[in-house]
Amino acid sequence: MQTFVTLALLAASPTASASLDAVPQTRLDDDLRCLLGVYSLPAGRTVTITGTGGKRRALQYTLSSSQFGTLQETAKGSYEAGLLKIRFGACGQGRLTLRIPAT
């Protein structure tokens, strides 16, 4: 089992000769790229923030509940997807404020 996981990770890693433009995450503006990652939420939940579509200002979210979507940047500096609202802390802080409507 451990060998399979190791091989899968090696197979998924980009080759050294691949252009950075071949990896959509690297096309993001620097002020967004530093926000990418997995954030811990209360009750053992998580939200993953990734780039999408290779666009410079496009982010998407995936909640551990399997809810996902594209985030739209607002004029106030937050990001929204329907009723979900995210405000990121400064780059390098690894913090965000997330409001999810009750389901």
Residue pLDDT tens, the chain, 103 long: 333 333 333 334 444 545 545 555 567 888 888 888 899 888 899 999 999 888 888 999 999 999 999 999 998 889 999 888 999 888 878 888 888 776 5
Place of tokens 């959509």: 24
pTM, entire model: 0.70
Report the C-alpha dihedral over residues 19, 55, 66, 99, rounded to 10 degrees: 130
Q: Give all strands of the β-sheet with 46-51 in edge-to-edge order.
A: 37-40, 46-51, 59-63, 68-73, 79-81, 84-88, 96-99
